[in-house]
Amino acid sequence: MLLQSLREQVLEANLELVKRGLVLYTFGNASGIDRQQGLVVIKPSGVDYDDLRSEHMVVTDLDGNLVDGTLKPSSDLDTHTLLYREFPSIGAVVHTHSEFATSFAQAGLPIPAFGTTHADYFYGPIPCTEPLSDAAIGGRYVHETGLAIVRRFRGLGASPLEIVPIPGPEIDRGSTLALGGNSAGLSSWRSAAARPSATDHLQPIDPLAVPACLVAGHAPFVWGRTPHQAAHNAVVLEAIARMAFRTLTLKSEAEAVSQALLDRHYFRKHGATATYGQPT
C-alpha cells in the first residue's frame, strides 16, 4: 500500500486529537505530505474514529486528485493542499474545532502571547484571518479558507489574491500566489511583538515560527514538520487558548509577555541557539 509509514503517522495524529479531547464526533482532520513524491495522506471524510485504520487514509496529489484509496478524502482537503503548496516548510496539517481556540476564532480575535507556555511554541500572537466574503463562501469555500490563512501569513491584509498557475512538476514547486511583495523572513518575524497590534495584518509571519492560524468564524488550522508535531501543536494551541481566555477573564487589559521573555523562551527551543532537552 502506498505510503504505509505516512498513513500510520497520519492515523496516529488523528487519533491523538480525539485522545486529547480536541475533536467531537468526526469534526477535525489531520494530513501529512511526502514532499519527495508530492503526495498528501489525509483522513477520509465522515469515518468514525473508532473504526479508522491506516488503510482508510486517502492519498492525493498536491492538487487534490485521488491517487490511492477507495474512500472520499476529508472535505477540508483543499485547505490542506493549498497550505502545502504555499508553505513548503511544513509537513503536516491539523484542523480541529477545539473549544477555546475556536472561541477566539469565533470572536475574530488573535491569541496574544500571555506567557512562556505560548512562547515555547509560538513566536508571537496566533493570528486570526479576516472574515471570508460572501463571494468566497459561495465560491470555492474550502480553497478560500486556505487563501485567507496564506494572505494573513504573507501580511497582505485585505488585498485580493490571484492564483497564478506555475507550469512544471507538482513537487517542490514554489508559491502559486501572486503576492504583493511581502514574504516572510527572519528579519521581519524576529521583530514580532507578543501582543497583537492594529497593523499586524500587514506583517508577514513565518509559518514555522507561528505554526497555527485561527480562521475567523470557524476554527484553528495548525501545522508542523510531521503529523505528530502538528497534532502536538494543536493540543498546545488549545491549552494556551484556554489560558489566554482565563487571563483575559481575570484582567481584560492583561499585558503580553515582554519581547525579551518571548525571545528567551522561543529560542531556547527553536533555531540555532536552542538549548532545551538533551544534546543529540
Please give the positions annotated as active site. Answer: 120, 276
Torsion of CA 128, 131, 135, 139, to 10 degrees: 40
Give min distance, CB of 222 to Zn ion, in A.
12
Asked whether the CA dihedral 14, 15, 20, 24 is positive or negative, the reply is positive
Q: Which residue is nearest to Zn ion (CB)?
A: 219
Question: Is 200 within 8 Å of 113 (Cβ atoms)?
Answer: no
Residues 82, 215: contact at Cβ < 8 Å?
no
Residue 57 CA to residue 24 CA, distance in Å, equals 19
- The stretch near Zn ion (CB under 5 A) out of 117-125, 130-138, 180-188, 211-219 is 211-219
Q: Which is nearer to Zn ion, 20 or 270 (CB)?
A: 20
- By C-beta, is 219 or 244 nearer to Zn ion? 219
* E strand or H helix that includes residue 186: helix 186-189
Which residue in 199, 203, 206 sits closest to 185, CA to CA? 206
Q: Which positions from 46 through 65 interact with Zn ion, judged by CB under 5 A?
A: none
Would you list the DSSP string of 133-178?
Answer: PHHHHHSSHHHHHHHHHHHHHHT-TT----B-PPPS-STT----B-
Site track for Zn ion across 218-257, x = CB under 5 A: -x--------------------------------------
Q: Which is nearest to 71 in space by CA: 123, 26, 22?
A: 26
To Zn ion, the closest distance from the beta carbon of 79 in angstroms equals 9
- Cβ-Cβ contacts under 8 Å for 193 (sequence gap 6 or more): 124, 125, 200, 256, 259
State which of positions 83-142 bind Zn ion (CB under 5 A).
none
Closest CB 257 distance from Zn ion, rounded Å: 30
Measured from the CB atom, is 42 or 219 closer to Zn ion? 219
**Closer to Zn ion by Cβ: residue 78 or 200:** 78
Number of residues that bind Zn ion (CB under 5 A): 1
- Tell the smallest beta-carbon distance from residue 96 to Zn ion (Å): 8
Between 203 and 233, whose beta carbon lies closer to Zn ion?
233
CB of 239 to Zn ion, least distance (A): 20
The binding site for Zn ion (CB under 5 A) comprises: 219
